[in-house]
Structure formats: structure tokens, C-alpha cells
Amino acid sequence: MMEKGLHNQFWEQGRLGIVVSGSLTKGLEVKLDSATSVEDIAVGRYVTIESERRRFFGMITDVTLDAIDPRLMVTPPDVSDPFIAEVVAGTSTFGRVHVLPELTWGGDAISLLEGPQPVKTVPAHFSVVREASEQDVERVFGQVEEKQFWIGTPLDMEIKVRLDPAKLVERSSGVFGKTGTGKTFLARLLLIGIIQEGTAANLVFDMHSEYGWEGTSAEGRKVKALKQLFPSKIAVFALDEESARRRKVSTDFVVEIGYDDIEPEDIEMLGETLNLTEAAVQAPYRLARHFGDRKWLEGFLALEGREQINELALSLGEHEATLASLRRRLEALRRLRFLVPHARDNPIQRILEYLDRGINVVLEFGRYTDITAYVLVANLLTRRIHTLYRERMERAMGEDIAKPRPLVITIEEAHKFLSPQVATQTIFGTIAREMRKYNVTLLVIDQRPSGIDEEVMSQIGTKITCLLDNERDIESVLTGVSGKSEFKAVLAKLETRQQALIFGHAVPMPVVVRTREYGSPQSYKELGFREAIELKKEAEKEMEDLWG
């Protein structure tokens, strides 16, 4: 008798309700037990469903109030009497939750060895639904080993969720969310995971100087960025040496870009940013033929007065208004002090040298946070680096030698590079569609995912999405996702900070996580880092032991 009682107690533990209807495509409707308070249920939580022969694992995507008799909605009973309130709650009114099943496994040995599999059927009527246990979550996401990277914990659970860095870099990935939701913080965490496990080299175009030496938390506190955490694995390149000096950031290389390095394709990428007409976008190609490929920009900017521009327009067969307009807009480039007639060193060669040595590169823009500078530099460098990576991959395939190390390129304000108007022509659109064909992928960060081309969004393998409240942005992020309508509610109900919905290639199923803390001494230690003073003492002790 005692054994039976214990079994029943275990069986009822964590019980929420029973399945009453549903379908494979639209999910399941679950009627909550009278003992289950609807106020304790939240979207994004995990449940398991015990069917006759299988166990299903899914996520709550909606919570609803219902009643047996619709007339109760029109003429509610007097619930001021606690007894009446209890009777009504147990017999006439009830809560319902919508569950989207994602994975399933059987009870036999073979199923246990195979692990969770995608659902292809639904549980039977009246199958019992329970809160997922920690063991269930670990079975799905795997146990995190001591030195493995983890991104956060599921809602109301302490189980660590691992985001597989190796799978993350196999395809392009994205971090999305409205302003102030912690996108930079999340992207920094992802880069830490990639660097810790050595799955790829990284090139970060750091628009607001948040990834190199130090960043800023949402509360305005200074936090350590990648260079402080990985001194020997990070090189800081700077476009603005003065800004770096004022911030007391030690730079490894100061980037200069020569006018003679800028090609017509680089200006074409600036068409939307500089508000160029189609004729003005095409004019640099004719200017390059006239002045020479490496002299066209300096020669064009050296023109003085309307008369010289008109003479050039006549010789090119171009409308003078087009050249005059292009000349005025390209004047903006003169304000960028990192642009010089001829660069003293080759930044592309230097970046590749560091990457080849296993050192990740963060390019800080300093005061040049204008989108024109960011688009110009990121596009110019990426086009050339991608070309070199493609040549290396083709040589490796032809000569049967080692392939280049995978490279992840991080860009902010991604919609400026991947909008429907330019995505088919930009190098970033090409990289996203290639899906690591040449060992190069993207980590895109954006607060306006609806501004990114739909085809590009569908090729992003893993998406880490913070709160979004714009319907078009939510639609864009969920492009190509099974159960799209169900996840809309989940996305819209995320907290403003430190919560994210993760889905795609690097996780076995969608998961809402409370992201791990970052920025305190304890968080650095949990990430495997120690204060410099500790490392210094350890080094001194080693030297003392060595020399006796």
C-alpha cells in the first residue's frame, strides 16, 4: 500500500492538466486541473506529456481562461463568497494552455539511445501534462560539462542551456531585439563562447567600441570586453587612434584606408546611405575608366569649380548634374580622417595575419559612428577578405590541403547591409546565402529585422531574439519557423532585459532563456576568467618554484 501511495504521489507531482484537443501543425489544447492556478503558468515554460507509449516535450505558447457554460461570461456569479468562488473555479470555469510539442522519445532502450526526435504525431486524448523536470530538460539540451559554454537557464529552472558554438558557426546567426534589450551583451556572450571553444576566428566591426577593451552595461557600469578577458587571443584594431588613446585602450594596429583602395563597388554600397541616384551609383565605374582604377576617387575629389566638373561630364558623356551631385555627396568622405591618399600599411593583410595566428580581431570605430563610415569600412574590408578566403578554399579543395579556419564576421546595424534593395549585390548577402561554402559566416546584430531581406533572414541558421514589439519585426524573425503563430506570443511577452528566445541550428528546439549574468567579478569567474592580480601571483609562484 505504501509503495502504491508513493507511486501515486510521484505520478501527481508537477501535474498541470490533460490534453483535450489539438493537431500536429497547430499544437495542443490542455485543460488545467482545478488545483492548478492559471496565474502560475507563463508562456515559454516547458512541459512533458505522458502518452501511452511515448513522452512528448513541448513549450507553453499561450494561456487562456475558459468556461463550461458561455453564459457565465455574460452573467458572472457572485464570487465574493469564498465557498461559491471555490465551487465555480472547480466546476464551471477553468484555465487552458496551448502547448507546441517539439520533441518526443519512447520508453524502450533503442529510443533512449537515439535521444529525443522531432514530433511526427500527437499524444492521445486526456494524456497527462506536467511541468518538465530538470532531467527532462537535460535530456533535450544535454548536460553542460564544467568548462563548456552555456548561454542561460530556462524560465524558473537552474539547468544550464548550452548553445553549441561549433553548430553556431556552421551557418550565419543573428541577435535581434528592440533598443535597450541587451543585444550587444548577448553578442558578446556568443563571441566569448566561440573564442573559448576555438570553433572559429572572429572579425568584429565594433561600431560603438563595445567589444574590444571594455563595454558599458545597461546601468552604465563599465564591463570587461574581449581584450581584457582574452589578452593573448584578441587584437584591437582602431580607425580612430586619438579616441583609443583617450579611452586608454592599447591598440595593436591603426587602420588607414587609401583613396586608391576604394573601388566603384564600395561607393555602390553607399548608394542608400548617401542618397545617390541610380545614375550617380553607376558614374564611379566610368570615372575609374577615365582616371584609372586606383586614382579615380582622388582625381574626382580634386576637381575644383563647376567648370571642371562640366568638362569631365562632357568627356564622359555624363550629365553634369549627376557628377555635381555625386561630388557633393562624396565630400562627406573627406571628413573621415582614416581616409588618406595612400595607406602606409595594408589593413587587410594585417587582419589576415592575426586571424591565421589564431588571434581574433576587433575593429573599433571610435568617433566614426556615422553609418557612412561603418558601411564603407565593413563592406570594403569584408569584400576583400572574403575573396581571399574563397581563393584559399578553392586551393584547398584542388590541392587536397587543409582548409582555412572558419571565420565569423560580426556586423551591427545589419539592415543597412542586408536590406531588400542591396542584399543581392552586397558581400554580406552573398555570405549569408553561401551558408559557409567558403568557411565564412556572419553574426548579424539588429533592432530592425524587418529591414533585412526575407531570403537572407531565411538563411540565418540560429536566431537569438530579445523582446520585439513591432509586428513586422516579429514576422521577419520568425520567417521559415514551424509554429510561427505560436511563437509570436512568446516573443511579445519576453521581459525587457536578460530574456531571449533562441531557435535554429545551434539548439535542438526553441528555448526561452534567462541569459547568464555578465559584468560582475563572480560572472567573470564563472566564465573561467580570473583577475589579473590572481594570474600575476600564480605566475610569480611558478617562477619561484622553477628557480628554487
Look at residue 390 in the predicted model and tell me its pLDDT: 93
CA proximity to 259, closest of 210, 207, 317, 300: 300
Task: Tell me whether residue 147 is exposed, middle or buried, using C-beta atoms within 10 angstroms of its C-beta: 0 to 12, 13 to 18, 19 or more.
Answer: exposed
Residues 328-367 have pLDDT tens digits of 999 989 899 999 999 999 999 999 999 999 999 999 999 9
Look at residue 464 in the predicted model and tell me its pLDDT: 96
Ranges under pLDDT 50 in the chain:
1-11, 532-533, 535-536, 538-539, 542-543, 546
Q: Which residues contact 86 (CB under 8 A, 6 or more apart)?
A: none
- Written as one letter, the residue type at 359 is I
Look at residue 400 in the predicted model and tell me its pLDDT: 84
Look at residue 195 in the predicted model and tell me its pLDDT: 94
Distance, CA of 231 to chain centre: 24
Residues 117-131 have pLDDT tens digits of 999 999 999 999 999
Q: 105 is written with which cell numbers?
A: 522519445
Regarding pTM above 0.95, the answer is no
Q: Which residues contact 248 (CB under 8 A, 6 or more apart)?
A: none
DSSP state, residue 161: B
Using CA atoms, how far apart are residues 48 and 69, in angstroms rounded to an integer?
A: 29
Rounded alpha-carbon distances, angstroms, from residue 59 to 94, 99, 333, 451, 459: 20, 5, 51, 29, 24
Q: 501 is written with which cell numbers?
A: 528566445
Q: Which residues contact 283 (CB under 8 A, 6 or more apart)?
A: 316, 318, 322, 323, 326
The three-point CA angle 305-311-314 to 5° equals: 140
